Amino acid sequence: MAAHTSQSVAKAAGDDVENDVAARGRSRRTDSDSGNRGENRGGKGASGLRRAVGTHWYAWAMVAPVVLVLGVIIGWPLVRGVYLSLTDATERNVSRTIGARHIEATYQFVGLDNYVDVLSDPVFLQRLVWTVVWTVACVSITFTLGLILANMLNREFRGRAAYRMALILPWAVPGFVSVFAWRFLFNRDNGILNKLLDGGGIAAIPWLDDPTWAKFSVVAVNVWLGVPFMMVALLGGLQSIPGELYEAAEMDGATAWQRFRHITLPGLRTVSMTVILLSTIWTFNMFPVIFLLTRGGPGDSTEILVTQAFREAFVSSPRDFAGSATWGVLILALLMIFALVYRRSLRKQGEVW
Amino acid sequence: MRRGIAATALVATLALAATACGGDDKGAADGTKAGGELSGTVTWWDTSNDAEKASFQKLAEAFTAKHPKVTVKYVNVPYGDAQNKVKNAFSSGSDAPDVIRADVGWVADFASLGYLDEVPAETAKKIDAEFLPQAAASGKFEGKTYAVPQVIDSLGLFYNKKMLADAGVQPPKTLEEVKTAAAAIKAKSGKAGLYLRGDDSYWFLPLIYGEGGDLVDAKNKTVTVDNEAGVKAFKTARDLVSSGAAITNATDGYANMQTAFKTGEAAMMINGPWAVADTYAGDQFKDKANLGVATVPAGSAKAGAPQGGHDLAVYAGSKNTAAAHAFVEYMTSQEVQVQSTKDLSLLPTRTAAYEQPDVKGNEMVQFFKPAVDKAVERAWIPENGSLFEPLKVEYTKAITGASSPEDAAKAAGVEFRKILKGWK
């Protein structure tokens, strides 16, 4: 080992050009081929770094802006958020500038106190349970509807383009506009939905006034907003399945259901897995639908984790920045655990992720 | 992230716009009086409602007639979002208004965070001498004056005279009478008796005062919302709705209430003077005389309504405090107050304004002035505004039957103690 190391140090320090060319030639294989060289490299510390920079400087140069931007817009707020969650920062003790006057920050590091507070409060568990129910309900309904619509649209018929346009419309309207529109529709006393029901002789439904109906309503609106994305993604997946497969299956006498089960579903698998993961993360953190439609109400029955974090930070005074950051970090941790488990289960099934 | 970018862009645009149009007055915009004359731009964030805002904008812009070099930038910020918006603007410093119209419950909070510029000593003295004492109290924090009272209000029982007369009932004085009156109204017209707002805890205050309770006892640093009177108030709220005497909503309550009352779907509602202008616009009140106002119905102990209203305050970081304070003084002057009473039936905060014929002769003032005099002064503590949010959650749960009155009172108490650290 020692000999190896000194040799490579000498080499690295010596003929750069030759090294460069050799490394460049080999670099493509590095990921897949023997662990031997990788191990060698790993043990070398500074010289290895120098060589890596020396040989791949152009790659580093290309990546640098991206790393920088990600660092500034994602990394820094994240680190700052984690740090705040370990302090007692509130509106009263953070630094702020009021005109010419600057007030210095006086908050202190409190360790894991905030996490203990949040996790020992029954509110967290209540919100978590409803957030999971909400996410599972929204994603499964959205996915099923998207799949059905995609299959219906994946065939030739008159006016197909018009249907597609109509189905994508909810996606084109800004989210808050549709949510406000739904809020008017759902209004118990003066909303159109209840006027229609009234016309049919059915008693008014307290859409947003009853905890159960409110939950139903927020899920319905989120599904309405989410279906177009699912449909378009799945439609793309459907169109990439070769037609010959269906022809061959038909020749073998497979029924429509069998074709769907054995060709369509496996063919859509990669796309589905991706959209389900994305949709889960989005729904888990779907702030606008809940906040704008019910403000978490009636009472606090439709409050999910993110809206609760907002409540912590912006509704009461002084605003509890540390508490809100704690909720945020917990939400992030939950989603990361979910993504890891999801990835592992896909790996087990042989998907490449 | 997106929001952050949008906000940055917005700030940048506004900054550009500000420098572009305010370029000339830059030199004088630092609050100094150039040659004894005020100049610069005063941005005013007003929270008045749709029926009121046109009138206030006109009054505000008329300030230019007195101070030709001052430009007033009028911005209407919906009351519901205002507290958050103001805080965001104040804490970031950029793009903050010079003057805000703050609910009386916000003043102590903003002042405790260092956001408000103290009122000049001379004005503070005038406030003590010339304003209603309970209004003056709302602008103070720890003995210093941070805001000038603009309007004062309280809640009252609005009723549809014709509907009550048709049902053969008198305006109810107690909640028990509300129930009998509601039954008569329902029997006669099929409409609801009372609309009781269920999505805002401010409307819960008459109920808890009615039972002889209060949210907190600031003197003894004690939370009182969950005591016997508090529980009784939650019970009363639930009882009014479950007995059919009152209708309510858990969302969009204000809009639904106004619609129900203006169209005659409900014969009574509890509301304040700010609603008068909008109510007159309703079908039922084409003849203004059809609107009657009475004291809020009493509970088992007494009739009590909260003291509300709005104060004007100057941002401590304003670049133009001299002009801003002058603007506040103008907006709270007697002539402006009389004018807003004339236009909108709002109640002045200056004692002398009540001697003016336009104010004296206003029917709403005749009713609301005694109500305001008797109104329950709230605890002017920084946490005042924060208490309403958790209380709202529990009030809504209790009134819609999602949780029992006892549980709602208890839960409100728990939340209150989280906000008021160290209180009993």
Model confidence pLDDT, tens digit, residues B44-79? 999 998 888 999 999 999 999 889 999 999 999 998
Q: Residue A60, by phi and psi: left (phi above 0), alpha (psi -120 to 50) or beta?
A: alpha
The answer to whether B316 and B117 are in contact (CB under 8 A) is yes
Token digits of residue B155:
């809640």
The model's pLDDT over B301-358, given as tens digits with 9 standing for 90+, comes to 988 999 999 999 999 988 889 999 999 999 999 999 999 999 888 999 999 999 998 8
Within 13 A of A128's CA, how many CA atoms are on the CB side?
15
* SS3 category, B234: helix
Amino acid in the structure at residue B320: N
**Sign, CA torsion B215/B217/B221/B224:** negative
Residues of chain B with Cβ-Cβ distance to A99 below 8 Å are 93, 315-319
pLDDT of residue A11: 41
Closest to B233 in 3D by CA, of B297, B280, B287, B285 = B297
| Number of CB atoms found within 10 A of residue B3's CB | 7
pLDDT of residue B22 exceeding 70, the answer is no
The answer to whether B296 and B139 are in contact (CB under 8 A) is no
Token digits of residue B139:
């602008």
- Mean pLDDT of the A68-84 span: 92
**8 Å CB contact of B402 and A298:** yes
List the Cα angle A89/A93/A95 in 5-degree steps. 100
Measured CA to CA, the distance from residue B368 to residue B154 in angstroms comes to 7
- Mean pLDDT of the A338-345 span: 89
Residues of chain B with Cβ-Cβ distance to A299 below 8 Å are 250, 393-394, 396-397, 400, 402-403
Is the overall model pTM greater than 0.95, yes or no? no
Measured CA to CA, the distance from residue A248 to residue A258 in angstroms comes to 12
List the Cα angle B375/B380/B382 in 5-degree steps. 145
**Sign, CA torsion B217/B221/B225/B227:** negative
Complex ipTM value: 0.75
Residues of chain A whose beta carbon is less than 8 angstroms from a beta carbon of chain B are: 73-74, 91-92, 96-101, 103, 183, 187-190, 206, 208-211, 214, 294-295, 297-301, 311, 314-319
Token digits of residue A7:
């040799």
pLDDT of residue A351: 67
**Who among A98, A299, A315 is closest to B402 (CB)?**
A299
> Is the minimum CB–CB distance between B413 and chain A shorter than 8 Å?
no
pLDDT of residue B410: 94
pLDDT of residue A333: 94
* SS3 category, B306: strand
